[in-house]
Amino acid sequence: MAMMKGFSNAFRIPELRKKILVTLGLVFVCRLISQIPTPGVDWRALQGVIADFKSQGAGGGLLDWFEVFTGGALGQCAIGFLSIWPYISAQIVIQLLGSVIPALEKLKKEGESGRQQLAQITRYLTIVLCVVQSWGIATMLSHPGALGPAFAGVEIVVNPGLGFHLMTVIGMTSAALFVMWIADQITTFGIGNGASLIIMINITSRLPQALISAWERYFGLGGVQASAPLAELPIIVIFFLLVVMGTVMLTQGVRKVAIHSTRRSVGGGNTYGMQQTFMPLRVNYTGVMPIIFAQPLIQIPSAVIMKMTDATSTGFSGSLFRFAQSLSDPKSILHLVVYALLIMFFAFFWVATQFNAIDISENLKKDGSYIPGIRPGRQTAEFLDDMMTKITLIGGTGLLVVALIPMVLMGWMSIPWALASFFGGTSLLIIVGVALDTLRIMESHLLVRKYEGFLSHGSLRGRGGV
């Protein structure tokens, strides 16, 4: 009840109502771009190739991943196929390089001017990634035989050649840059982080397909008989609610570290005594980054190995092909084990590169603050580093469980990927995280103007980062 009243109050505030309408309008334009086919591509032939390719492998592979995160743009090779991902990739690269390149690290510490320069570098890198990726897509469309001998005679591009390559590069790069501009406008004039909202909308656009898959599974559809007993449905619904609750707890969970501030004087002669605050260390500090890194590192090398080896061979080549095939199958034990190890590795890797305990301890020392029982300086840095390692182990384990749930559902219960993908993994983490961030921003507008928030007691807390 409080939630519905909060949404009703949101439209009573002119400024907030304007932000909501601007966001909805820009999101609509973004979705429209993802539905415009690339000129020169026979998208019906492309859909046939995709269907045949999926029938040869397991659900939940790289093609399904692209289908979910591009909002359905893969099936018709829309000009908006790249969507916001080149921009996101550029941000991740710059963020990682900022930890190892002194010049970029210096820019991060120069305040607003440094952030503007980093943003400009990110945009230039986005253009480079767009050109490289769109050229690769044009090449793959022009030579579908590269996917396997079964597709050698298929013609997806009407008139292949340099002209088609240039047209595809210009079209997809322009669309991706336009989506990047839309994301910036949503961030400035709309609600929340524009890039995150666009990704969430792309994912949720596949929800109708998931509901159709669920209806077909339990009730049958279009002459197709139900493949699962109806008694399973309430169990699945309850399990989904439990997974969502666990994901919310993982997203919002923090470890509060007590911080004491010493007595200090402020301008005008005012003096404040000892103050106690808390430093919140997020349990899921890495966000969805480990999953985003792990999935391509399994699927892409597996696809390359399968392409370079012979499936019919009884020797080393055949064994290597079968190994790669098992590695790329989300239902196989090998895939689950390697996927789990990669997620845990990248969870600790991301924290090691992004959480700088030395800088935090130095800032606390400069502010006259300290952690009770811990000496300022090196001991504080060691304490925070040890604390973050333990938190990352807990958060990484929770992230691992959420990431493996869709694959376990596909393997044990034969639930189709379109439905299973909403039970965990990157999809659910992004939806929950972005939804909480957006609601928190809306709630802050409501509370400032003396309206009730979305909860009867307390207030929403966003992720506070990636």
List domains and CATH numbers for the chain: 19-199 (1.10.3370.10)
pLDDT tens digits for range 224-253? 788 888 888 898 899 999 999 998 888 888
Task: Specify whether the CB–CB gap between 188 and 178 falls below 8 A.
Answer: no
Bridge partner residues of 255 (DSSP) = 281
Q: Give the separation between CA 65 and CA 292, rounded to whole angstroms.
A: 10
Q: Where do the H-state alpha helices sit in 11-57?
A: 14-33, 43-55
Please, are residues 407 and 335 in contact by the beta-carbon 8 Å criterion? yes
Cα–Cα distance, 388 to 227 (Å, whole number): 46
When pLDDT is averaged across residues 351-359 and rounded to a whole number, the result is 87
Contacts of 438 (CB under 8 A, 6+ apart): 191, 192, 197
Q: How far is CA 264 from CA 67, 70, 269, 274, 429, in A?
A: 56, 53, 10, 8, 42
Of 417, 22, 60, 7, residue with least CA distance to 190: 22
The residues facing 264 across adjacent strands are 272
Look at residue 27 in the predicted model and tell me its pLDDT. 92
Tokens of 166: 């240039």
Overall average pLDDT of the 448-465 stretch: 60
* Residue 437, pLDDT score: 85
Contact between residue 327 and residue 302 where contact means Cβ atoms under 8 Å apart: yes
Nearest CA among 19, 71, 432 for reference residue 185: 19
Phi, psi torsion values for 266, nearest 5 degrees: -115, 155
Query: Mind listing the pLDDT tens digit for each residue in 309-353?
Result: 777 777 888 888 888 888 888 778 888 899 999 999 999 998 988
pLDDT value for 466: 43
Q: What is the pLDDT of residue 149?
A: 60
Write out the H or E segment, with its range, that includes residue 280: strand 275-282
Residue 88: its H or E element = helix 85-97
pLDDT the model gives residue 293: 84
Query: What is the CA angle 200-201-205, rounded to 5?
Result: 120
* Tokens standing for residue 353: 């590169």
Write the pLDDT tens digit of every residue in 386-422: 999 999 999 999 999 998 888 888 878 888 877 888 8
| pLDDT given for residue 298 in this prediction | 85
What kind and span of H or E run contains 188? helix 162-189
**pLDDT tens string 17-57:** 899 999 999 999 999 998 888 888 887 777 777 777 666 55
Q: What percent of the chain has pLDDT over 70?
A: 88
CB 457, CB 3: distance < 8 Å: no
| Continuous H helices in 37-161 | 43-55, 62-69, 85-97, 102-108, 112-142
Per-residue confidence (pLDDT) for residue 436, from 0 to 100: 85
3-state secondary structure (DSSP) of residue 256: strand
Alpha-carbon torsion 184, 186, 189, 191, what sign? negative
pLDDT confidence bin for 131, thresholds 50/70/90: very high
Q: Which residue, among 103, 41, 33, 118, has the nearest Cα to 71 in the 3D structure?
A: 33
Taking the C-alpha atoms of residue 347 and residue 163, their distance in angstroms, rounded to an integer, is: 43
Show Cβ contacts of residue 190 under 8 Å, excluding neighbours closer than 6 positions: 19, 20, 22, 23, 26, 197
CA diameter of the chain: 85
Radius of gyration of the chain (CA): 25
Per the prediction, the chain carries an average pLDDT of 82
The pLDDT of residue 83 is above 70:
yes
Do the strands 254-261 and 369-370 form a parallel or antiparallel pair, or are they unpaired?
Answer: antiparallel
Lowest-pLDDT choice from 52-56, 182-186, 289-293: 52-56
Angle of CA points 403, 407, 410, to nearest 5°: 150
Q: Stretch 122-136: mean pLDDT, rounded?
A: 93
